[in-house]
Amino acid sequence: VHDSVLAERGRLRPDTARIRVFEGRIATLEDSARTLLVPNEFDRILSRNGARGLNATTAAEATTYFVELPSNRTELWFALESDRMRSPVFREFYTERDVVMEERRLRIDTSPGGKLYEAHLAAAFTIHPYGQPVAGTMSDLESLTRRDVEDYYRRFYGPRNATVAIVGDLDPDLLERWAHRWFGDIPPGEIPPPVLTREPPQTGTRRVEVLFDAQPSLRMGWHVPGLVHEDTPALAILGSLLTGGRSARLQRRLVQEDRIATFVSAGRGPGDRYPHLFTVDATPRAPHGPAEIEAAVLDELARLARTPPDSAEVARVRIQIESGRVRRLASNLGLAFQLAESASALGDWRETFRLSDRLVEVTPEDIQRVVRRYLHAANLTVATLVPADSADASAPRR
């Protein structure tokens, strides 16, 4: 076909009959090749063998694949996963790329929460990769090719860079033999280089405003250390003390007593390994706005900076955190997630069970100290979602 096209360029009139013949041959070859493709074959094989919950998640530092299988089908998982790792075939790549692009449109580009989240991270992280969207920008996705993805996969999706957690009624020695049998001869791949870029200390409050035809909302974030830092347990208790349940300070004040918010939540992110953000998200209750909520949050933090919580409040929050952890670890899948995260992010799966001891060591004065050290104005980034019509109404008129 290529030679014929080159020859046709030299003619004044293309040979349309020959072109139609070639088009017919190409269509026949495509139809023949299509019969060899089995859509979702990986999923179908697992489903026939009793699997459920096959899925994947993508975060700032890892892509996680997970599935639940009968224990007597565990070696099937090793066989399938090793084949995918050794010789991946990216069938229907551009179809799947379009699916990812549509997900971005729905979750980010046309979502008020998604737009606010991305704008807040971009403002908080000026040079660190945490400020970049995990799924990339739309222009990134549009220019992505099958070769790009295949090269990336072969570089980093190898045994050397993989953490596998298997939980169930299984023989550990047998699992080790299967791991050597199925993964031992696969090229190890590369370990991604560490992120050497460090976000410089923030020297003043940053603000970003997102105009969107939706209900107003607020997102506040302060830079805090990575997950392995000694202050992480105190920050974990602080988050639950502020928003963990109906009796938590911000939940009680903003939602129940002052009734200026319909929702408030504290968290951390977008990753674990490097310094990240301690965040507070809130949705105002009309006619109240983000400014009132921000003032109330800062006032509550100022109270903690002046006076530490009492021991009973810290103990109650600690029990609440432990209860939530126990519930998550009660299922095989929940335990597998936690083990994999501890092994990959903290370097040791045993950290899953050491957190309890670290939480017990947190004192009320530790809570006061981390509030003073991290949750102050110079370290704060605030993002607000403002309805476009209200912004137009408040804009200066010429």
What is the pTM for the complete model shown?
0.85
CATH of 42-183, picked from 3.30.830.10, 1.10.3720.10, 3.30.310.50, 3.40.50.150, is 3.30.830.10
CATH top class, domain 206-394: alpha beta
Under DSSP, the state recorded for 377 is G
Q: State how far the Cα of 140 lies from the Cα of 119, in Å rounded to an integer.
A: 17
Amino acid identity of 122?
Answer: A
Look at residue 135 in the predicted model and tell me its pLDDT: 85
Look at residue 397 in the predicted model and tell me its pLDDT: 39
- Reading the chain (398 residues) residue by residue, the pLDDT tens digits are 334 344 444 444 556 676 677 677 777 766 666 655 667 788 899 999 999 999 998 899 889 999 999 999 999 999 999 999 998 888 888 999 999 999 999 999 999 999 999 999 999 999 999 999 998 899 999 999 999 999 999 898 999 999 999 999 999 999 999 999 999 999 998 888 888 999 999 999 999 999 999 999 999 999 999 999 999 999 999 999 999 989 999 999 999 999 999 999 999 999 999 999 999 999 999 999 999 999 999 999 999 999 999 999 999 999 999 998 889 889 999 999 999 999 988 889 998 888 888 999 999 999 999 999 999 999 999 999 999 876 544 444 33
Burial 237-271 (b: 16+ CB within 10 A, else e): bbbbbbbbeeebbbbbbbbeeeebbeebbbebebb
Considering only CA atoms, which of 58, 56, 59 is closest in space to residue 271?
Answer: 59
Domains of the chain by residue range:
2-34, 42-183, 206-394
Look at residue 34 in the predicted model and tell me its pLDDT: 61
C-alpha 125: how far from chain center = 16
Look at residue 23 in the predicted model and tell me its pLDDT: 72
C-alpha 122: how far from chain center = 15
Q: Which H/E stretch holds residue 211?
A: strand 206-211
Cβ-based neighbours of 286, under 8 Å, separated by 6 or more:
215
* Cis peptide preceding 287, ω within 30 of 0: yes
Say if 42-183 and 206-394 have the same CATH topology.
yes
